[in-house]
A = this chain, B = another copy of it.
């Protein structure tokens, strides 16, 4: 204020690849986030919150290649810092750092922003929310937890109410053991190939497998494996009938059977999950059960919730054996996709959570404030329109925000301890005693 120089105006903008929502959309986004959180908490997962900035030495202990390139890394003073790029590495660091103070199995959820400097492209964000759960055992962890994760996925997407979905389950031991039989020691490339079956078709997969050096017999068997379909029990039967003499394979089939057997006890309907032997998950991190989740009517969105079982969460930080199982929902991307696909629509959604707008006259402001306080005391979000102006302008405010009820509080209403209640959808209005207002609101 003290200087009289003309202020230089900077054009307000945000960086490419960063999501920023208008209130109408933010409310929808937060509602999804709340449902996910409630679902996670109902299963007894506890919250953690870790710093977004960590020492690069710690955060990048494992990573190389593409991930390292995408990390936001910088120096501040003498410190080499990085922004977290997922919630799994911070979990590993957290558990190994605090293991003496945690109770195992440690069931944690973590909802937070992560950062990846990817090339900006449609639906890919450089800052995005992940919503993760993991169950981490100290030494061992029952395979029933793998079934529980399916129960959590089911419960979560049921509550999100974004359409029918199917949870696909596979087991990395089944795949690893199967290909080990044909001399493939590191099945990573083979699994990546199998993973693309639904995209490129069986023929192309067989050709690629041949290129990777698999013999004719192995390719034929792989095609047979990938084509097994039906109910979980049938697929498991089919796997056993293949007579694969490999201990890893057998262990995997046993696990798959145990997991599928327990899933129903979690209340997951049969039509909502299936065994899919083509799902491998790219990461070499997973060692047992793996999950993907698809919307039945929108398979083009890809998996909307993925994860799996791993043997060693934190081998970069501790020699303690910490097996676990978990999943992640990339909510920013999912929200964007759902909106683009018209599955959630923000156009006519309210731009506020306020349910009642109290409109006083110039000489009844205090009464209006008291009315709003009473509405809030009844647990209903309410605000008072405090700027002056014509009634039309005040009602327009309510309409633009999508506030369902207006309470006009003039001198007559003040006199009679009442309000003129206006339903903004129907246009109906009626005089209502302040003591009775709750009965007239359909919220």
A365 in contact with B262 (CB, 8 Å): yes
A58 in contact with B113 (CB, 8 Å): no
A387 — which chain B residues lie within 8 A by C-beta? 105, 137, 140-142
A365 in contact with B144 (CB, 8 Å): yes
Render A111-145 as a binary contact track against B, CB cut-off 8 A, 1 for contact. 00101010000000011000000000100111011
Tell whether A266 is near chain B: CB-to-CB under 8 Å: yes
A61 — which chain B residues lie within 8 A by C-beta? 10
A108 in contact with B23 (CB, 8 Å): yes
Binds B, one of A43-51, A219-227, A294-302: A43-51
Identify which of B9, B284, B314, B376 contacts A42 (C-beta below 8 A). B376
Residue of B nearest to A37 (CB): B30
B148 in contact with A384 (CB, 8 Å): yes
Interface residues of A in 259-290 (CB under 8 A from B): 261-262, 265-267, 284
B366 in contact with A265 (CB, 8 Å): yes
Question: Measured between alpha carbons, how far is A319 from B377 in the docked complex, in Å?
Answer: 40
Interface residues of A in 345-401 (CB under 8 A from B): 351-354, 357, 365-367, 369-370, 373, 376-377, 381-384, 386-388, 397, 400-401
Residue of B nearest to A380 (CB): B42
CB distance from A212 to the nearest CB of B (A): 15
B72 in contact with A48 (CB, 8 Å): no
Residue of B nearest to A60 (CB): B10
Question: Measured between alpha carbons, how far is A388 from B376 in the docked complex, in Å?
Answer: 49
B23 in contact with A265 (CB, 8 Å): no
CB distance from A25 to the nearest CB of B (A): 10
* Contacts known (A262-B365, A353-B41); A49 close to B23, Cβ less than 8 A: no
A367 — which chain B residues lie within 8 A by C-beta? 265
CB distance from A157 to the nearest CB of B (A): 15
CB distance from A21 to the nearest CB of B (A): 7
CB distance from A60 to the nearest CB of B (A): 9
* Contacts known (A15-B81, A20-B94); A142 close to B388, Cβ less than 8 A: yes
Residue of B nearest to A367 (CB): B265
B44 in contact with A72 (CB, 8 Å): no
* Contacts known (A54-B14, A57-B10, A317-B9); A23 close to B44, Cβ less than 8 A: no
Binds B, one of A95-103, A239-247, A432-440: A95-103
* Contacts known (A48-B23, A366-B265); A382 close to B15, Cβ less than 8 A: no
A52 in contact with B113 (CB, 8 Å): yes
Question: Measured between alpha carbons, how far is A141 from B366 in the docked complex, in Å?
Answer: 17
Residue of B nearest to A99 (CB): B12
Question: Measured between alpha carbons, how far is A23 from B47 in the docked complex, in Å?
Answer: 6
CB distance from A114 to the nearest CB of B (A): 11
Tell whether A202 is near chain B: CB-to-CB under 8 Å: no
A15 in contact with B48 (CB, 8 Å): no
Tell whether A88 is near chain B: CB-to-CB under 8 Å: no
B351 in contact with A46 (CB, 8 Å): yes
A151 — which chain B residues lie within 8 A by C-beta? 369, 373
Tell whether A443 is near chain B: CB-to-CB under 8 Å: no
Identify which of B20, B75, B376 contacts A49 (C-beta below 8 A). B20
Residue of B nearest to A61 (CB): B10
Residue of B nearest to A1 (CB): B284
- Apart from A12-B94, A13-B97, A44-B352, list 9 A-B contacts with CB within 8 A: A2-B186, A10-B316, A12-B92, A12-B93, A23-B108, A44-B383, A52-B127, A103-B401, A262-B369
A and B contact pairs by CB, cutoff 8 A, 23 listed? A1-B284, A2-B284, A7-B316, A9-B317, A11-B317, A12-B93, A12-B96, A12-B317, A14-B55, A14-B58, A20-B49, A22-B102, A23-B47, A26-B46, A26-B47, A41-B381, A43-B376, A44-B352, A44-B381, A103-B397, A107-B383, A142-B387, A262-B369
